[in-house]
Chain A
Amino acid sequence: AQSVTQPDIHITVSEGASLELRCNYSYGATPYLFWYVQSPGQGLQLLLKYFSGDTLVQGIKGFEAEFKRSQSSFNLRKPSVHWSDAAEYFCAVGIFGNEKLTFGTGTRLTIIP
């Protein structure tokens, strides 16, 4: 069965600094990969997704992620964070023919002035 690991429970960065959130997956074939963001009291919003093709994926709100098959990783990046980026970020994996998404445990992002 597929699994997702987000090794960082909580990350604090300064506003304007760069950000990288880590995600590692476990699955024998190429999975479908997603990053979602959950703001306090809100639902999950899709930031970006990778199905195939270009391994660098652009998403909304200035985020991007890079699929690295050799490292089984799909890290999320942003060159300069804004205070409004403070939220919980979830990496998720899906596989073809299986309806469900398997989510990581999430990384809580705090932005300091």
Chain B
Amino acid sequence: DSGVTQTPKHLITATGQRVTLRCSPRSGDLSVYWYQQSLDQGLQFLIQYYNGEERAKGNILERFSAQQFPDLHSELNLSSLELGDSALYFCASSGRGGVGNTIYFGEGSWLTVV
């Protein structure tokens, strides 16, 4: 158990819909990362927040957005969903941010778009 909690574990939704994935980082961790794992793209970095502020942005679509709240939990919002958005979405956390700090991953949220 990494200490990173993600909900829901599985989600099935229709094209065009919007979903929210939730992440609670390890206790005390200030930095939260979101990654997408799909068959064709592999593991892709989406975005990182540090203590409530956006720190780095990767291959995140404009239809996707994220935020980190004062209690440090984070949400990833996916809208206007397409079939290609079906993937495993990982949240990860680390203490202070920066690649030199070990990043701990949650078990992921499986999203299926039908």
| Contact flag A99-B90 (CB < 8 Å), given A42-B107, A43-B105, A105-B42 | no
Report the separation of the CA atoms of residues A102 and B55 in the bound assembly, to the nearest whole angstrom.
Answer: 16
| Complex contact A103–B100 (CB within 8 A) | no
Per-residue CB contact flags for chain A residues 96-111 toward chain B (1 = under 8 Å, else 0) read 1011111111100000
Q: Judge if B43 is at the interface, Cβ distance under 8 Å.
A: yes
Residue pairs across A and B with CB atoms within 8 Å: the count is 55
* Residue numbers in A under 8 Å from B33 (CB-CB): 99-100
The answer to whether A99 touches B105, judged by C-beta atoms less than 8 angstroms apart, is: no
We find that the number of chain A residues with CB closer than 8 angstroms to chain B is 23
Tell me if A89 is interfacial: C-beta within 8 Å of chain B. no
Partner of B105, one of A44, A98, A104, A106: A44
Report A56-113 residues with CB < 8 Å from chain B CB: 90, 94-96, 98-106
- Residue B16 at the chain A interface, CB threshold 8 Å: no
Which residues of A does B touch, CB under 8 Å? 32, 36, 41-46, 49, 51, 90, 94-96, 98-106
Q: Which residues of B contact A (CB under 8 A)?
A: 2, 4, 31, 33, 42-43, 45, 48, 55-56, 58, 90, 92, 97-100, 102-108
> Could you give 30 example pairs across A and B, Cβ below 8 Å?
A32-B99, A36-B105, A41-B107, A43-B106, A44-B105, A45-B2, A45-B105, A46-B102, A46-B103, A46-B104, A49-B102, A51-B100, A90-B43, A94-B99, A96-B99, A96-B100, A98-B99, A99-B33, A99-B48, A99-B55, A99-B56, A99-B97, A99-B98, A99-B99, A100-B99, A101-B99, A104-B42, A105-B42, A106-B42, A106-B43
